Chains A and B, each alone.
Chain A
Amino acid sequence: MRLRWCVLATALVLVVTACGSSGGSKDTSGNGLGGATSSTAPANDVCKTAALKSTEVGVTASTITVTVVADVNNSVRPGLFKGSWDGVKAWGDYMNSKGGLACRRVVVKQGDAKLSPTDAANAAAAACGNSVAMVGTTALFLQNVSAMESCKDKAGVATGLPDIADLQTEVAHQCSKISFATLPTGSSCPYSGTGLRTFRVGYTTYDYYFKKYGANALHGVFVVPKDLPSTISASMPIFRAENRMGIKSDAEFGKSGLSIQTDYTEVAQAIKTSKSTYARNGLDYKGTVLMRKEAQVQGADTVKIWDCSLQCYDKRLIQEAGNAMEGQYVWLNFLPFEDKGSNPELDAFLKYTKNPEGFGAQAWIAGEIFARAVNDTMKANNDDPNSITRANLLTAIRSLHDFDGIGMVPKIDVGRKIGSTCLVGVQVIGGVFKRIDPVQPGTFDCDNNKPPLTFEVDAVKEYKG
């Protein structure tokens, strides 16, 4: 009996944050602005002259409907990924404020996966029946993608339901030909679920650390989220990549989403015994809170780098740990909210979202990818707003290799499912998140476009906890 869901999301976030492209990104400037993204509506004159009609399931003469499927209502953690619902809804409002998409008003439907494989599949099946695409999908147990892949379009052809996801936790979802991600995982497809798999992990974070503390200064402890094979598979490649890059492993521990603070005493003791200089926890932010609090209690003060990915970009991290969290590093694939005023897309997101958070930001980006696919489809069809079909959208998404959300995210190759190695580093200083790499707001550290480390690992076999 464990809280699988609790760590699954964050373990996957850890992967997508650390894994990067193999050269798909050409962002050498470190400045996300000036990317090729455009999500603006087509010229009004096109809309004035076109005789709009229903062209696809979810596309009527006046509306274009998308569904955001997320784990929200459940008795274990009500509102778990409500941020994704809110993010896509905010994006829809933003689109409509600009005249809509393909001359139509954007309608956002919400599907609830409820941390259940059955409900996730049901929500996807429902989306097949009423939406042109799924946007901002954040369902941890979307194991069964057959309903999405065999989804029939208006003509009765099994085109598949385009899916632009926030999270892809299951191999079937990651490797589906109709599913794409705002943060591609960097893991190879197809994959059977067992055995060796190829991963790509960017150097950006580690080069920053090595530059600051020295190439051979780091050795430490790693905490693996052990609740599910998929959580182990998600975190072990990162830890092994860090080992290969030069961070030696003093000790590795397996912890559960149900672990309590006393369970971390052994981690703190290992830090003290080995005088570790590096520590990373692959569980959700709560795992990091427990580890940091126990380390503070036990006086484990040798660590220079407390490392974490997107899952720790959460105000609760600081609220719950207090001063124990000082110095925590967190690495993001999008501009931090503290950059408000430096990027129009980020400003729009913050304006339209009441409670901005990481999954909401990614869901917004998913919406922008969809908008870009719609506009590219129209462009490829002589600005015809009646060209919006699932088949055309899939073609547009597969051809989308340079999306950057007007600089809110670094360039990602959506079509080839290749993320970027560009990141933003923030650190908890004085009880707030402060940007530390690069210092200039609105920019990303792309590590001079250094190619990522590519290696094979059998993640489940690697774990010994």
Chain B
Amino acid sequence: MSQRWSNLLVWAGTIAFVVLVSKTAWAGHSIDGTSLTNLVVLSLPLAGIIAMAASGLVVVYTTTGIFNFAQGAIGMFMAYVDWELTVHHGLPQLLVLPLVVVVVAPLLGIALDRAIMRHLQGKALVVQLSVTVGLMFAFIGLANMLWNQNNAHSMPALFAGHGFHIGQVLLTWHRFITIVVAVALAIGLRILLFRTRIGIAMRAVVDNRDLAALGGARSSVLSSFAWALGCSLAALAGILLAPETADMSTTTLTFLIITAFAAAVVGRLRSLPLTYIGALILALATQWSGSFLRFSERWTNVPDALPTIMLFVVLLLLPRAEIQFARIGQIRRVERVSSVRDTAIGMLALLIFIVVLSTFFLSNTDTTNLSRFALGMCTALVALSLVPLTGWAGQVSLAPLAFAGIGAVAYARLGGAHGSIWAVFLAALVTVPVGALFAFPAMRLQGLYLALATLAFAAMVEEIFYSQPFAIGAGERAVEPVHLLGIDFTSKRAFLILVTVVFGLCGIGIVALRRSAFGRRLVALRDSEAASVTVGVNVLETKLAVFALSAGIAGFAGAFFAMNARTLNGPTGFEMIAGLPIVLALVIGGVGFVAGALFAGIFGLFLILVQSDWHISLWIGLTYLAPGLAVLGIIQSPSGAVVPIGEGFARLLPWRHDARREYEEMTAAAAEPEVGVLGLERPFEESDVLLVDRELGISNDVPRAVAAARSG
């Protein structure tokens, strides 16, 4: 289907959906001049807030090439700094606001750039996204540590809530300033990025860092400037938004950024005026649904889903040509593929470990830890679903728990209430077509846009799917662990062993798949889609297969999640936001490895144990800061922690001569001095000129002439 027809189809579908929803949910209020004026006036402040948040996202993405999930969290943190100085220490806002926005926030941006962000250049998209997700959680944790959330934190509005009337609505000066600042930023930043030398240089660095450097752009300085600017914008948005919240809730201030994604994507992550229009459309849609529509029962959460519905629709409408392939850096992956035998040995060792642990060290009377370990293994199983999809095929998905949730519901509805073993497989089967459907947008969307589409999908599933009567509805659904071969898996120990066996079998299957032709096709797809096509790979078929496979595994895992929880109630446990740490943990472990998935489960379990059982403030603080520390880990080892761990361990195995040889070669290579990139990282000296001349067969007279010209 051509781009034009598919766009027409999306537009027609969207309009039909809007008309149908409006007709069905019409509240019966009359539409007149007053109500429309009110609609617009009520929308403007909301649009201003969304636009402010989205502007920061766009600027950071345009100038660094990194989509910053932590933008809202940075704004939240800066708002708390502002609160600390103004409310807690009584300094005037007129002094503090510039101090925070112009000094503190930029310093934070420079520090982030130096410590973290510049190390992300050229890394895989999933690594870049995971790092910013980690930072987001780290800032929330840090704010929770520094400012007790059980205390009152209230930021007064500018000009004490005074304002002027437009129709019946009073527009406060604070909100008016927010709107004006948002518009001014849209114009000012547009000029900065497109009309000034530094703005053009920043964008040039994102497009081609090396080329920009050859043109005289100092990429490191520009990168620091971009992050300083991004943090300033985040701070401004956070401080202006803070009085609109009752208690400066860290989560409210942080997660508003997700609402702003839709507006930023309307601007295609580069146009600030379009971003502002996107924010206005979103605000109008929100106010329209609030003023003129009424939703009930299964559709109660539709208004909450509006930003993500809009995000999804806009992504579907994006023309293929607009997708910035060049922005998505590729890294050289040299990953060793385990043999099926090695994996089987590893899984057997894991099983023995779990059996011994659960039999001799974990209490069967107090089943808390057994249940935690089971949850850890279920998490590992969900993470495993991303290994072929994201690790091998390079298709970034941020919706692993959405598919798991669909699987959990399918299990509950198709026999899981009685522990039917068939229900587990049906759960996987039901999620397969849902996952396969994603292959079609994945044909048009790549990289970041695909990741955002999966995020929007996860949010829509959360808001709309679970409340459907055919899913969970308003009540709860009880489930039982499976009954298999006469064994009762109701006991937590038996269930833990079952999940471990299932993970082991799935892991072995995944490794076998990786070593097959299909696995090689996936890797080829990741390395170069265009090259894959030229060698005869059917891209649609391959994407269809890998999305279906991933969804199937996640659905399968969801059934076990449900068994562990025993009760399903709405989206609890399968929220979109809860899926992000799983992706983060998988990246820390190693997104291309089965062991990475196991690491993700263990990582989550470790945090639970630390927080629950080690009642030492230092350790509890560690759980808040762990995502931030994990970010540093990713930077050190972007391929994943399991790679160095595995290499170190493999050398100890008697039959792994290859591992010992690889280690020796790596050690020898590491001992050699860093060469650096000629002309970029080290000066282009006379000796280099001679070397190049010799290689090219140029007469020695030329450099002499050059030298003479220089001296003369």
Contact = CB atoms under 8 A, between A and B. Distances in A.
Contact of B570 (A123, A144, A229, A285): A229
The 8 closest A-B pairs by CB, nearest first: A193-B475, A129-B366, A286-B246, A319-B152, A229-B474, A129-B365, A143-B567, A316-B152
Contacts of B371: 118, 121-122, 125
Contact of A125 (B296, B366, B475, B575): B366
A299 B168 CA distance: 10
Given A112-B612, A193-B476, A269-B169, A73 B620 contact: yes
Contacts of B577: 1
A465 interface: yes
A464 B296 contact: yes
Contacts of B404: none
A163 B39 CA distance: 50
B565 A262 contact: no
Interface of B: 27, 38, 42, 45-46, 49, 137, 140-141, 144, 148-154, 161, 163, 168-170, 172, 175, 241, 243-247, 249, 251-252, 255-256, 258, 287, 290-291, 294-297, 300-301, 303-304, 363, 365-368, 371-372, 375, 459, 462, 467, 473-476, 492, 564-567, 569-570, 572-573, 575-577, 608, 611-612, 620, 623-624
A263 B50 CA distance: 13
30 contacts: A1-B459, A4-B572, A82-B150, A121-B566, A125-B368, A126-B368, A143-B566, A146-B566, A147-B367, A172-B476, A229-B467, A229-B473, A230-B570, A232-B300, A233-B474, A258-B252, A258-B256, A260-B256, A261-B246, A262-B46, A262-B49, A263-B290, A265-B45, A266-B287, A285-B246, A290-B245, A320-B154, A320-B246, A460-B300, A463-B297
Nearest to B365: A129
Interface in A286-323: 286-287, 289-290, 293, 296-299, 315-316, 319-322
A460 B469 CA distance: 12
Interface in A60-113: 73, 75-80, 82, 112
Contacts of A114: 611-612
A254 interface: yes
A463 B256 CA distance: 26
Given A1-B459, A122-B367, A272 B246 contact: no
Interface residues of A, number: 77
Contacts of A290: 245-246
Contact of B300 (A80, A116, A254): A254
Contacts of A261: 243-246
Contacts, number: 205
A171 B304 CA distance: 25
Nearest to A140: B572
A118 B375 contact: yes
B572 A117 contact: yes
Q: Which of A112, A296, A315, A320 has the most CB of B within 10 A?
A: A320
B154 A141 contact: no
Contact of B565 (A82, A118, A229, A254): A118
Q: A interface, by DSSP: helix, strand, loop or mixed?
A: helix
B24 to A, nearest CB: 12
A272 B168 CA distance: 9
Contacts of B163: 297
A298 B150 contact: no
A460 B570 CA distance: 13
Contacts of A146: 566
A3 interface: yes
Contacts of B256: 258, 260
A228 interface: yes
Interface of A: 1-4, 73, 75-80, 82, 112, 114, 116-119, 121-123, 125-126, 128-130, 141, 143-144, 146-147, 170-172, 192-194, 226, 228-230, 232-233, 253-254, 256, 258, 260-263, 265-266, 269, 272-273, 285-287, 289-290, 293, 296-299, 315-316, 319-322, 460-461, 463-465
A123 B375 CA distance: 14
A319 B241 CA distance: 19
Contacts of B295: 254, 464-465
Nearest to A228: B570
A212 to B, nearest CB: 28
Contact of B246 (A112, A116, A273, A289): A289
B366 A266 contact: no
Nearest to B155: A320
Given A118-B564, A297-B161, A289 B247 contact: yes
A143 B168 contact: no
A272 B34 CA distance: 14
A239 to B, nearest CB: 14
Contacts of B565: 117-118, 121, 143-144
A265 B169 contact: yes
A297 B296 contact: no
A170 B569 contact: yes
Contacts of A322: 154
Contact of B170 (A126, A172, A299): A299
A142 to B, nearest CB: 10
Given A73-B612, A147-B367, A298 B169 contact: yes
B246 A79 contact: no
Contact of B251 (A3, A82, A144, A192): A3
A80 B149 CA distance: 8
Contact of B42 (A121, A130, A266, A299): A266
B170 A123 contact: no
A465 B241 CA distance: 25
Given A82-B150, A143-B567, A460 B375 contact: no
